[in-house]
């Protein structure tokens, strides 16, 4: 069997676990191998971790723990007095959130057991006779989320997550599709459930995670009123504390632990089109993913993380599984993303996982305060960042983002502004992070900062970078519990025979792969082929070291009128990472047009001082109306297009990849207006529909002005006209490239229409 090995060193901080798992690993051994025996027409060889080429893929790192329930039970036995779940209680007197309050592992385990027993009893009273069923879970991240999830596990039940921000139509669909008899939720969602009651006939129980009785007169409490309304639909409403009390009253009632093949969750994907699909995940899937998470991030018992990414998304759920596996602490944010940094400053987490959207904001703020700052401060910042960037380009084994002096006098101060001064490691997932931003943040924070790749269907893992690999733009290599290969996509010209790197659709298979899409055999058959390979829809390429890079999306490419294919998401990510004025981006194009336009959301803090200089009057960052008005000024739009032109040149965009006209707003895309999914992914078809009038306007403006200029200049020079904006009925701004005597010149010019 031919083998091609790819050299990687073991990451320093995870050697303890790696040596425990593979005691004979040498730090110079290769980690990944291409198993060519399975290569077939149109596919690459199969990539595996080199220790698992000839044996089953990794299932668990701890043979005592075969389910997520087992991991939590072991942690509770080993660390009963350790902090487990923390939150910031609301003080109605001061109208502020207090400091973090904690429950221990022993206390959490007791609440979990009591809730599980009470949950089963309530289902019996409601006439549910099945032994295994789903329990809906609809709330923001909070300790009670885990009490419900762990309690369900303790009785071999599973939870069905409902995103906190979903609209009633999707909520109705999930409850009916999963045939839920019970939904555990926060108080504000109960009226929605009661309104939906006639259309969700399976619902019999609502468990409220907030108090229903706060000392009101009998009959006047929230619980009494809600139960009176719910009774009409045959539904009863209970407070979670009362459910736990039912369990506490039956101390001899046993837990009913799950088996590895039992379902742990049906996780509905936050799809950008159509109804979400229910991804059926088992305890075996969860344990495999948790084991790899432990190997990669090497969590310690005294670690602490901040929970703010939606727990309904598998990415955050896996992070918290990792905490329970070692007995570390989870602190929940207050529920307001605008206050996240304040929560982080109190919590001071030892690791931090996030998404590119937030890292873009961190990067913009840090750049403004360091490398883009005026005077000595900017000079020092640029020197430190450039020094570290140079160190990361050294050969393997020498490359580092650490510096003996700067990490003592500069880095901690910067990190403390975000509450991340104790963070040993940072992770980016959910979408590719811009390579330049990735390296910049590695240099700025001086911590381990890796990127991974996974999907709901693979329990959020599959590919991952390792600590001593300071390359960027890739997701690392395959984990020990998965195998991966590429399949050619000829219609997009991605082939596994491409040189120097094979390219194609990423296919995954392994112990973390989902069982099926719930009650959807057709979609399951489309996604998983007869050989058990899951077709991700993501286009990747693999380098000579076995590192995979996401380069495209199979269904997310645009073909322009001139026949060129472009990836709008890649262009959006580059603009967001390199232009601090922008907070959101939607790049639009289609096969009837030869150029791109964009809808941008601006960052008021960065945008206000910049636009003030252009307009010659002060605009404050909190003056929403003035910022909106400024965003419509064509002079401002023209200047922004010039900035984007520079970003495009720096990023080596082709001319057809550069945005030629823009429409600006403060926050055009939100979950509330249904243009973002709960995981903050842009819903492209809905966005195009909502902004169709603006898209047509800015596109036609550019077309008219370009035709007029080209006609006026014909015969004078050979010209190439870009970035055209008609600023009024009489004025046109444009960037014009002149070919004259074998030389190319360009000017930003203003033309008057006669």
Nearest CA to 509 out of 523, 522, 527 is that of: 527
**Per-residue pLDDT at 730:** 47
For 402, other C-beta atoms within 10 Å of its C-beta total 12
**Per-residue pLDDT at 275:** 80
Of 18-32, 140-154, 291-305, 340-354, the range with the lowest mean pLDDT is 18-32
752, pLDDT greater than 60: no
**Per-residue pLDDT at 711:** 61
DSSP-derived secondary structure for 305-370: EEE-S-TTSHHHHHHHHHHHHHT-EEEE--S-GGGHHHHHHHH--SEEEE-HHHHHHHHHHHHHHT
pLDDT tens, residue by residue, 533-557: 999 999 999 998 899 999 887 767 7
397, pLDDT greater than 90: no
Q: How confident is the model at residue 23 (pLDDT cuts 50, 70, 90)?
A: very low
Beta strands in 198-320 (DSSP E): 205-208, 236-239, 263-268, 278-282, 304-307
**Per-residue pLDDT at 727:** 43
| Gap between the Cα atoms of 323 and 320, Å rounded | 5
Average pLDDT for 707-713:
58
**Per-residue pLDDT at 350:** 97
Average pLDDT for 53-61:
91
Q: How confident is the model at residue 32 (pLDDT cuts 50, 70, 90)?
A: low
| Gap between the Cα atoms of 76 and 437, Å rounded | 39
Average pLDDT for 53-73:
94
SS3 percent helix, strand, coil of the chain, rounded to 5, is 40, 25, 40
For 71, other C-beta atoms within 10 Å of its C-beta total 28
103, pLDDT greater than 60: yes
Nearest CA to 175 out of 158, 142, 197, 150 is that of: 197
**Per-residue pLDDT at 33:** 62
**Per-residue pLDDT at 16:** 32
The answer to whether 306 and 343 are in contact (CB under 8 A) is yes
For 22, other C-beta atoms within 10 Å of its C-beta total 17
**Per-residue pLDDT at 291:** 95
| Gap between the Cα atoms of 105 and 301, Å rounded | 12
Q: What percent of the chain has pLDDT over 90?
A: 65
9, pLDDT greater than 60: no
Domains delineated in the chain: 68-326 (3.40.50.980), 350-553 (3.40.50.12780), 558-695 (3.30.300.30)
**Per-residue pLDDT at 20:** 35
Average pLDDT for 12-23:
32
**Per-residue pLDDT at 26:** 33
pLDDT tens, residue by residue, 676-686: 887 778 888 88
**More reliable by pLDDT, 649 or 382:** 382
**Per-residue pLDDT at 703:** 59
Average pLDDT for 408-420:
97
Q: How confident is the model at residue 300 (pLDDT cuts 50, 70, 90)?
A: confident
28, pLDDT greater than 90: no
Of 72-81, 545-554, 563-572, the range with the lowest mean pLDDT is 563-572
**Per-residue pLDDT at 123:** 98
Burial pattern 586-620, b for ≥16 Cβ within 10 A else e, equals bbbbeeebbbbbbbbbbbbbbbbebbbeeeeeebe
**Per-residue pLDDT at 376:** 96
pLDDT tens, residue by residue, 185-199: 999 999 999 999 999
- Overall residue count recorded for the chain in this entry: 754
Backbone angles phi, psi at 486, to 5 degrees: -110, 145
| Gap between the Cα atoms of 119 and 138, Å rounded | 16
**Per-residue pLDDT at 735:** 54
For 110, other C-beta atoms within 10 Å of its C-beta total 16
**Per-residue pLDDT at 744:** 43
CA atoms in the 13 A half-sphere facing the CB of 678: 28
pLDDT tens, residue by residue, 243-267: 999 999 998 899 999 999 999 999 9
**Per-residue pLDDT at 98:** 95
**Per-residue pLDDT at 360:** 87
Compute the mean pLDDT over every residue in the chain, rounded to the nearest whole number: 86
Locus of tokens 């937030």:
358
Beta-strand relationship, 463-464 and 448-453:
antiparallel
**Per-residue pLDDT at 213:** 87
25, pLDDT greater than 60: no
| Gap between the Cα atoms of 32 and 9, Å rounded | 11
Q: How confident is the model at residue 445 (pLDDT cuts 50, 70, 90)?
A: very high
Torsion sign across C-alpha atoms 618, 624, 626, 632 = positive
Nearest CA to 634 out of 662, 660, 612 is that of: 662
């Amino acid at each position: 069997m031919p083998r091609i090995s790819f050299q990687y060193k073991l990451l320093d901080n995870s050697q303890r676990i790696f040596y425990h798992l593979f005691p004979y690993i040498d730090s110079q051994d290769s980690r990944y191998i291409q198993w060519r025996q399975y290569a077939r027409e149109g596919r690459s060889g199969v990539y595996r971790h080199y220790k698992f080429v000839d044996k089953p893929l990794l299932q668990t790192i701890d043979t005592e723990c075969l389910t997520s329930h087992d991991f939590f039970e072991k942690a509770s036995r080993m660390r009963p007095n350790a902090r487990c779940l923390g939150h910031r209680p609301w003080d109605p007197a001061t109208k502020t959130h207090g400091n973090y309050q904690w429950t221990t592992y022993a206390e959490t385990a007791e609440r979990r057991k009591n809730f599980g027993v009470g949950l089963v009893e309530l289902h019996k009273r409601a006439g549910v006779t099945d032994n295994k069923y789903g329990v809906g879970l609809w709330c923001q991240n909070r300790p009670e989320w885990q009490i419900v999830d762990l309690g369900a596990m303790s009785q071999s039940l599973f939870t069905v997550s409902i995103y906190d921000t979903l609209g009633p139509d999707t909520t109705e669909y999930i409850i009916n599709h999963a045939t839920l008899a019970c939904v555990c939720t926060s108080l504000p969602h109960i009226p929605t459930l009661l309104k939906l009651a006639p259309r969700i006939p399976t619902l019999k129980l609502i468990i409220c995670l907030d108090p229903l009785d706060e000392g009101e007169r009998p009959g006047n409490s929230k619980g009494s009123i809600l139960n009176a309304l719910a009774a009409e639909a045959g539904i009863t409403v209970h407070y979670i504390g009362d459910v736990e009390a039912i369990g506490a009253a039956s101390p001899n009632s046993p837990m009913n632990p799950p088996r590895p093949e039992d379902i742990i969750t049906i996780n509905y994907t936050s799809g950008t089109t159509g109804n979400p699909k229910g991804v059926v995940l088992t305890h075996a899937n969860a344990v495999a993913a948790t084991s790899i998470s432990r190997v990669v991030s090497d969590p310690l018992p005294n670690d602490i993380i901040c929970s703010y990414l939606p727990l309904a998304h598998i990415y955050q759920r896996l992070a918290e599984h990792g905490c329970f596996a070692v007995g570390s602490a989870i602190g929940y944010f207050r529920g307001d993303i605008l206050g996240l940094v304040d929560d982080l400053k109190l919590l001071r987490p030892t690791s931090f996982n996030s998404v590119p959207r937030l890292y873009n904001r961190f990067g913009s703020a840090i750049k403004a305060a360091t490398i883009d700052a005026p005077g000595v401060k900017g000079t020092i910042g640029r020197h430190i960042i450039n020094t570290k960037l140079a160190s990361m380009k050294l050969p393997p084994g020498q490359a580092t983002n650490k510096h003996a002096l700067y990490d003592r006098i500069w880095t901690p101060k910067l990190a403390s502004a975000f509450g991340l001064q104790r963070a040993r490691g940072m992770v980016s997932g959910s979408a590719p992070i811009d390579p330049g931003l990735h390296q910049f943040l590695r240099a700025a924070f001086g911590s381990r900062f890796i990127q991974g790749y996974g999907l709901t269907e693979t329990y959020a893992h599959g590919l991952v970078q390792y600590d001593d690999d300071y390359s960027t733009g890739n997701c690392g290599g395959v984990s020990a519990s998965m195998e991966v290969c590429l399949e050619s996509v000829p219609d997009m010209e991605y082939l596994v025979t491409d040189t120097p790197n094979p390219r194609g659709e990423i296919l995954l298979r392994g112990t973390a792969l989902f069982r099926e899409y719930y009650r959807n055999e057709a979609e399951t058959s489309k996604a998983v082929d007869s050989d058990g390979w899951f077709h991700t829809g993501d286009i990747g390429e693999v380098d000579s070291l076995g590192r995979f890079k996401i380069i495209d999306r199979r269904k997310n490419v645009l073909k322009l009128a001139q026949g060129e294919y472009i990836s709008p998401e890649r262009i959006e990510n580059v603009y967001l990472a390199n232009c601090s004025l922008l907070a959101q981006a939607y790049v639009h194009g289609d096969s009837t047009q030869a150029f791109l336009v964009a809808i941008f959301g601006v960052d008021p803090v960065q945008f206000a001082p910049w636009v003030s200089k252009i307009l010659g009057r002060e605009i404050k960052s909190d003056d929403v109306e003035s910022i909106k008005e400024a965003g419509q000024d064509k002079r401002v739009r023209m200047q922004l297009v010039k900035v984007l032109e520079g970003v495009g040149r720096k990023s080596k965009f082709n001319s057809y990849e550069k945005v030629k006209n823009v429409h600006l707003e403060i926050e055009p895309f939100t979950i509330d207006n249904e243009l973002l999914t709960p995981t903050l992914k842009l819903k492209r078809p809905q966005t195009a529909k909502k902004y169709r009038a603006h898209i047509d306007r800015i596109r036609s403006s550019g077309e008219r002005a370009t035709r007029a200029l080209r006609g006026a200049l014909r015969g004078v020079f050979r010209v190439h006209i870009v970035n055209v904006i008609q600023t009024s009925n009489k004025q046109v701004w444009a960037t014009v490239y002149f070919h004259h005597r074998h030389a190319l010149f360009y000017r930003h010019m203003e033309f008057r229409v006669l």
